[in-house]
């Protein structure tokens, strides 16, 4: 079975409540960071961490993305050696690692497997103003706050997952405090400034105007967040002005991100990375299927609701979200290859203010799929459209296979239960989310209580996990950059942190070039998990409602990349999980006392 179309809209994940769709969000708290492969630099040995090394003594290294070999690049410009690097070199006794370092793990004493690596305590001159937005005692960061009327998360308000701006701001500041509390900051306090966006998610004119205002009035070192669907206008404007942008859009084309490296970073896989994993998972050989005891699974539509399809070779129809003007046709370099593999590809424009138009479009889309004898519908889009598509398929007496690809919360139980269950009995696919766990086991929740106390809770009780992500990336980048903070040292330092995670509840995260993906990786999440819908399974959904219908995670939630994708084996309950009540051993981090000076420590 072949497939191929650019991935549509990036997920705008949020922690809904108890078993929130946290997967990638949880893993990214204190994630291993965003980074690029950089050429130039020194002789390859880790730099000494003492002394200054200001901008005048640290030439800006050239970016040679394609030439960088897989692995960690050499440190430059006074970047610190990590504890693991020192152990390998036999020099760990030559450095002062400070009280916050745990030699047993080589990481800071923070209760997450994604804790930053230990680096030596810094002494000396930090170089003063090493880059715009960076002074001798401060690093300025801007937090972009979308216009509530244009933010895609407003779609979830009806589900009870909205937050007040005040609660969101307080929660961001709290996680910023946690993330920066233990790092080596080289004498600089990290200060976040809020900026309220002026336009809707797809308003390019407003996006560029907002970016110019940030550049002219604030000119920070980095910006967190941005308009969701502005075709990269906001992030590009900032990048051209030399300002980093983290999580600046849901659908930034890969070409824009790579052309502007090392200025843009994302949390979810890039379009090309996503398609590579999806293709590797679905395009299994007949030989592999036979070895797995499913000789027809690689080519025939054996999972369709209509038994007439079971003996037919899969004929794939793709339905995906698009923008006006189109954006995804400009993204994946593998566009032509993938397009040739599909029997039919249809797009739709998502309009949150006109759901009636979506419903009408669903009638047309399903009619086209049925009349073209499509055995398998692959969906890549928002979480609302499948409600109309699945309902209309039943109305038209059409029961194909459904492949969900994990875009935009379509892989959550709360939305899965809203789709036609007769159709969902034949739904399977991929998710980048981790297997859900109880709230008290979730990393952002545990980190908050570790720092602020057992009785403390984030003000943004529904979206705290989403909010917690980017402060940790900024903190880690500064921690690993060394005293001479620039976009290049920020990127290169983060790239030196190896991939981590990969357990059922801890997706693997890496950036740069670790041999996980082809080419430069500017996006965090590396792996996926196979899922299928069980209409009879009972459990708690993402907003704490008990009910029937759950996504099952195959192989105990085992995750995979494009390099080791298993054969799809949906609807086999043995070995599957729907949620964990305890963390798997490989996902468990050490417990540490609260850090000195924190509210929890008194």
Q: In three state form, how does the secondary structure of 492-531 look?
A: HHHHCCCCECCECCECCECCECCCCCCCCECECECCEEEE
pLDDT at residue 428, as a whole number? 96
**Which residue has 């690029």 as its token pair?**
36
What is the separation of C-alpha 55 from the centre of its chain, rounded to a whole number of angstroms? 32
Query: pTM to 2 decimals?
Result: 0.83
In this predicted model, which residue has the larger pLDDT, 556 or 61? Answer: 556
DSSP structure class, residue 598: S
Q: Sign of the CA dihedral 16, 20, 23, 27?
A: positive
pLDDT tier at 298, thresholds 50, 70, 90: low
pLDDT tier at 291, thresholds 50, 70, 90: low
- Give yes or no for a cis peptide into 237 (omega within 30° of 0): no
Distance CA 173, CA 143 (A): 10
In this predicted model, which residue has the larger pLDDT, 320 or 419? Answer: 419
> Are the C-beta atoms of residues 247 and 226 closer than 8 Å to each other?
yes
pLDDT at residue 456, as a whole number? 97
Q: How far is CA 202 from CA 101, 127, 197, 230, 500, in A?
A: 44, 40, 12, 4, 34
The CA-CA-CA angle for residues 250, 253, 256, to 5°, reads 120
232 contacts: CB under 8 Å, gap ≥ 6: 248, 249, 252, 253, 256, 257
pLDDT tier at 239, thresholds 50, 70, 90: very high
| Residue range 133-162: mean pLDDT, rounded | 74
Q: Which of 231, 245, 59 has the alpha carbon at shortest distance from 143?
A: 245
Give 11-43 as a 3 state SS string.
Answer: CCCCCCCCCCCCHHHHHHCCCCCCCCCCCCCCC
pLDDT tier at 161, thresholds 50, 70, 90: low
Indicate the burial class of 232 (C-beta count within 10 angstroms; 0-12, 13-18, 19 or more).
buried
Paired sense of beta strands 264-265 and 222-224, if any: unpaired
pLDDT at residue 337, as a whole number? 46
Identify the top-confidence range among 9-13, 52-56, 287-291, 419-423. Answer: 419-423
Helix/strand/coil for 140 = strand
pLDDT(25) > 50:
no
Q: Which of 337, 335, 342, 297 has the alpha carbon at shortest distance from 317?
A: 342
pLDDT(63) > 70:
no
pLDDT at residue 278, as a whole number? 83
pLDDT tier at 521, thresholds 50, 70, 90: confident
Which tokens in the block code for residue 339? 């397009």
> Are the C-beta atoms of residues 498 and 513 closer than 8 Å to each other?
no
Summarised one tens digit per residue, pLDDT across range 396-431 is 999 999 999 988 889 999 999 999 999 999 999 999
pLDDT tier at 224, thresholds 50, 70, 90: very high
DSSP 382-446: -SSHHHHHHHHHHHTT---EEEE--GGGTTSHHHHTTS-HHHHTTEEEEESSPPPB-GGGSHHHH
pLDDT at residue 411, as a whole number? 94
| Residue range 452-472: mean pLDDT, rounded | 91
Of the chain, the percentage scoring pLDDT greater than 90 comes to 56
Distance CA 127, CA 133 (A): 14
pLDDT at residue 362, as a whole number? 98
Distance CA 269, CA 27 (A): 14
Which tokens in the block code for residue 407? 């875009």
Least confident of 5-19, 238-252, 322-336, 448-462: 5-19
- Give yes or no for a cis peptide into 262 (omega within 30° of 0): yes
Distance CA 561, CA 315 (A): 25
Summarised one tens digit per residue, pLDDT across range 77-113 is 899 999 999 999 999 999 999 999 999 999 999 999 9
Q: How far is CA 112 from CA 31, 107, 505, 592, in A?
A: 9, 10, 12, 10
Q: Which of 468, 451, 524, 470 has the alpha carbon at shortest distance from 141?
A: 470
Q: How far is CA 560 from CA 102, 282, 297, 594, in A?
A: 30, 13, 19, 34
pLDDT at residue 292, as a whole number? 61
Q: How far is CA 295 from CA 168, 300, 567, in A?
A: 51, 9, 11
CA count, 13 A, side-chain hemisphere, 46: 25
| Residue range 557-572: mean pLDDT, rounded | 89
pLDDT tier at 475, thresholds 50, 70, 90: very high
| Residue range 370-383: mean pLDDT, rounded | 94
10 Å Cβ neighbour count for 124? 15
pLDDT tier at 524, thresholds 50, 70, 90: confident
pLDDT(36) > 50:
no
Instruction: Share the mean pLDDT of the chain.
Output: 82
């Amino acid at each position: 079975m072949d497939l191929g179309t650019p991935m549509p809209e990036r997920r705008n994940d949020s922690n809904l409540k108890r078993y929130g769709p946290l997967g990638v969000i949880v893993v990214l708290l204190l994630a291993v960071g965003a980074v690029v492969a950089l050429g130039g630099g020194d002789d390859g040995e880790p730099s000494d961490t003492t002394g200054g090394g200001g901008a005048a003594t640290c030439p800006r290294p050239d970016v040679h993305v394609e030439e960088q070999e897989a692995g960690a690049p050499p440190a430059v410009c006074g970047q610190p050696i990590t504890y693991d690097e020192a152990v390998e070199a036999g020099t760990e006794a030559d450095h002062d690692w400070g009280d916050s370092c745990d030699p047993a793990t080589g990481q800071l004493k923070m209760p997450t497997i994604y804790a930053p690596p230990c680096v030596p305590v810094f002494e000396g001159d930090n170089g003063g103003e090493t880059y715009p937005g960076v002074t001798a005692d401060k690093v300025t960061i801007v937090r972009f706050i979308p216009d509530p009327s244009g933010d895609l998360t407003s779609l979830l308000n009806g589900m009870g997952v909205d937050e007040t701006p005040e609660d969101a701001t307080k929660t961001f500041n709290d996680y910023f405090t946690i993330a920066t509390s233990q790092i080596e900051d080289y004498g600089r306090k990290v200060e976040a400034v809020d900026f309220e966006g002026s336009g809707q998610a797809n308003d390019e004119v407003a996006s560029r105007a907002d970016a110019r205002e940030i550049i002219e009035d604030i000119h920070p070192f980095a910006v967190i967040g941005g308009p969701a669907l502005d075709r990269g206008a906001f992030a590009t404007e900032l990048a051209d002005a030399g300002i980093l942008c983290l999580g600046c859009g849901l659908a930034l084309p890969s070409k824009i991100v790579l052309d502007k490296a090392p200025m843009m970073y994302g949390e979810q896989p890039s379009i090309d990375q996503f398609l590579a994993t999806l293709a590797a998972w679905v395009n299994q050989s007949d030989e592999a299927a036979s070895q797995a005891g499913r000789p027809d699974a690689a080519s025939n539509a054996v999972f369709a609701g209509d038994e007439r399809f079971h003996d037919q070779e899969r004929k794939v129809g793709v339905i995906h979200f698009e923008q006006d003007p189109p954006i995804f046709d400009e993204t994946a370099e593998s566009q032509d290859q993938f397009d040739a593999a599909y029997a039919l590809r249809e797009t739709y424009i998502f309009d949150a203010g006109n759901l009636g138009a979506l419903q009408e479009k669903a009638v047309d889309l399903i009619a086209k799929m049925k009349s073209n004898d499509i055995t398998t519908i692959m969906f890549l889009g928002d979480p609302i459209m499948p409600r109309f598509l699945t309902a209309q398929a039943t109305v038209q007496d059409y029961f194909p296979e459904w492949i969900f690809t994990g875009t935009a919360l379509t892989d959550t139980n709360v939305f899965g239960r809203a789709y036609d269950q007769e159709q969902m009995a034949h739904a399977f696919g991929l998710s980048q989310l981790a297997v859900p766990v109880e709230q008290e086991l979730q990393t952002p929740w545990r980190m908050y209580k570790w720092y602020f106390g057992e009785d403390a809770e984030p003000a943004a009780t529904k979206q705290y996990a989403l909010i917690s992500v980017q402060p940790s990336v900024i903190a880690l980048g500064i921690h690993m950059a060394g005293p001479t903070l620039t976009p290049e040292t920020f990127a290169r330092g983060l790239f030196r942190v190896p991939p981590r995670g990969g357990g059922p509840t801890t997706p693997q995260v890496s950036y740069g070039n670790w041999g996980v993906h082809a080419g430069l990786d500017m996006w965090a999440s590396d792996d996926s998990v196979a899922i299928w819908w069980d209409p009879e399974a009972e459990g708690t959904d993402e907003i704490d409602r008990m009910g029937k219908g759950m996504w099952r995670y195959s192989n105990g939630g085992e995750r995979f990349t494009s390099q080791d994708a298993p054969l799809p084996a949906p609807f086999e309950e043995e070995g599957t999980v729907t949620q964990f009540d305890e963390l798997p051993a490989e996902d468990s981090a050490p417990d540490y006392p609260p850090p000195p000076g924190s509210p929890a420590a008194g």
